[in-house]
Amino acid sequence: MTISMVAKHAKWPAKADAIFAIAGKAQEAITKYGKENVTNSTLGALMDDDGKLIAFDSVFGVLKDMPNEEISAYAPIAGMPKYLEAVEETFFAGYKPDAHIRVVATPGGTGALKVAMWNYTEEGDEILTSDWYWSPYNTISEEAGRKISTFQLFSDEGNFNITDFKKRFKEILNKQDRLMAIINTPAQNPTGYSVSDDEWDEILAFVKEEAKNPDKKIILLVDTAYIDFAGAENEKRAFFTKFSNLPDNIFVMAAFSTSKGYTMYGLRLGALIGMSSNEEIADEFRVSSLHSGRANWSNGNRGAMLVVAEIFNDKELSEKYTVEKNEWKGILRRRAEAFVEASEEVGLELLPYRDGFFVSLPCDKPYEISDALIEKNIFMVPLGKGIRFAVCAVSEEKCRKAPKVIKEVMDRFK
């Protein structure tokens, strides 16, 4: 046994990244069998029908036309003011709540989640999220000595399980004076579920009731990573107005990312958005977020910020971007519909898909089933309670064919 040099809290087991490992195998299969014979539904990025990453011309054109000094210079810690303004306007898109709003730039959605969790929970706290969740929530929380606890996302009818949400929320709030709940909506990763407006009403009525105890602090963190590919227009943002006039001891944050909506995954740009009825609480959020920014990464990708700002401020460019995004939104929608319809035809059980990049299938032996599907040249990511199909990365034709094969393989494990 060798000496360990890291501090105890920083000692982690070496773990290969499961998604990258399967994606690697998919690449091998493509080389061996040809891409037409392989369904690579592993990676969470929008691809064309040949599996090539989509990078919007409207976005990268702006970046490449920018003077070098504009990309080279440092941005302020908070972010470029015109980026922050563009985020605020495009994010709420007419559904701005009656609240004091502050926006701070972060490296991607992950940076936003990190700042929120670090600043708004205590060491040892339980953070509540759904049992189907994006696994880095766990990495972010365990790095900081917090712990993810879960409620059942779905009721038997396939709706948001408000009963279990309330039960688990109350249990934790009995033990802690502050509670953060993370809700990944719309277009949840990994299920594709979107909390409906009615369900939001139920959630907010409940937390308002809990907030009547002035000793309790309730933090809602809405992870909106996939919002730009949800709904037909902006209707999936309507729930934002419900964050109006909340009591002071309910603080709402949204984690925003440019990764999907601008296809700027590799540029690492997002934002954390804080909302409060109380201006001092909103200002406190900004100060804490800036301190975290300074202490973690200093400042953000300046060129990427200016791209977002320029698309927002230039009408022609904005239209070009919207046309390009909507084209892909349509393709994504058709792929997902093909997958869902074909699944219904063969009786393949899916979790209720509403929007976004992923569809998930519940099952008992996800790793075994994923392995067995690899034999059929279908590459899906195993999760704790099922397997995930990335419709964002697979052609409509393959989305239509895959469910039959998946059903046959899964039936062998019943």
Binders of a copy of itself among residues 254 to 313 (CB under 8 A) are: 259, 263-268, 276, 278, 280-281, 283-285, 287-288, 291-292, 294-303
Q: Does 323 bind a copy of itself (CB under 8 A)?
A: no
Contact status: 60 vs a copy of itself (CB under 8 A): yes
Tell me how crowded residue 370 is: count the other CB atoms within 10 A of its CB: 22
Contacts 24+ apart (CB under 8 A), 90-94: 90/308, 90/312, 91/224, 91/227, 91/237, 91/254, 91/256, 91/271, 91/273, 92/237, 92/240, 93/234, 93/237, 94/234, 94/237
Q: Does position 245 bind a copy of itself by CB under 8 A?
A: no
Minimum distance of a copy of itself from residue 245's CB (angstroms): 16
Residue 315: burial class (beta carbons within 10 Å; 0-12, 13-18, 19+): exposed
Residue 53 or residue 232: which is nearer to a copy of itself going by CB?
A: 53
Pick one of 73, 205, 232, 346: the residue that binds a copy of itself (CB under 8 A): 73
Q: Is 205 exposed, middle or buried (0-12, 13-18, 19+ CB in 10 A)?
A: exposed
Q: Does 40 bind a copy of itself (CB under 8 A)?
A: no
Give Cβ neighbours of residue 283 (< 8 Å, ≥ 6 apart).
100, 102
Nearer to a copy of itself, 161 or 259 (CB): 259
- The secondary structure of 141-178, three-state, reads HHHCCCEEEEECCECCCCCECHHHHHHHHHHHHHHCCE
Using the rule CB under 8 A, is 114 a contact of a copy of itself? yes
Pick the closer one to a copy of itself by CB: 268 or 320.
Answer: 268
Rounded to the nearest whole angstrom, what is the least distance from the CB of residue 189 to a copy of itself in the complex?
13
The yes or no reply on residue 30 touching a copy of itself (CB under 8 A) is no
Q: Interface mask (CB under 8 A) for a copy of itself, residues 219-238, using x and -?
A: x-------------------
Helix (H) / strand (E) containing 397: helix 396-411
Question: CB-wise, 59 or 351, nearer to a copy of itself?
Answer: 59
Q: Of 180, 192, 190, which Cα lies nearest the Cα of 217?
A: 180
The residue (of 287 and 346) whose beta carbon lies closer to a copy of itself is 287
72 binds a copy of itself (CB under 8 A): yes
Buried b (16+ CB within 10 A) or exposed e, 252-288: bbbbbbbbbbbbbbebbbbbbbbbbbeeebbebbbeb
CB of 392 to a copy of itself, least distance (A): 13
Q: How many residues bind a copy of itself (CB under 8 A)?
A: 83
Tell the smallest beta-carbon distance from residue 368 to a copy of itself (Å).
26
Long-range contacts of 310-315 (CB under 8 A, 24+ apart): 310/62, 311/58, 311/59, 311/62, 311/86, 311/262, 312/82, 312/85, 312/86, 312/89, 312/90, 313/82, 313/86
Residues 121-140, interacting with a copy of itself (CB under 8 A): 121-122, 136, 139-140
Residue 262 DSSP symbol: T
The single residue among 7, 156, 375, 412 that binds a copy of itself, judged by CB under 8 A, is: 7
Does the footprint of a copy of itself cover residue 215 (CB under 8 A)? no
Which residue's entry shows tokens 């054109």?
A: 61
Contact flag: residue 119 with a copy of itself (CB under 8 A)? yes
Binding mask 167-196 for a copy of itself (x = CB under 8 A): -----------x------------------
Selected from 74, 124, 157, 233, the binder of a copy of itself by CB under 8 A is: 74
Options 8-16, 358-366, 381-389, 400-408: segment touching a copy of itself (CB under 8 A): 8-16
CB of 72 to a copy of itself, least distance (A): 4
Residue 64 makes contact with a copy of itself by CB under 8 A: yes
Tell which one of 168, 217, 236, 398 touches a copy of itself (CB under 8 A): 217
Residue 249 is a binding residue for a copy of itself (CB under 8 A):
yes
**Per-residue three-class SS string for 208-242:** HHHCCCCCCEEEEEEECCCHHHCCCCCHHHHHHHH
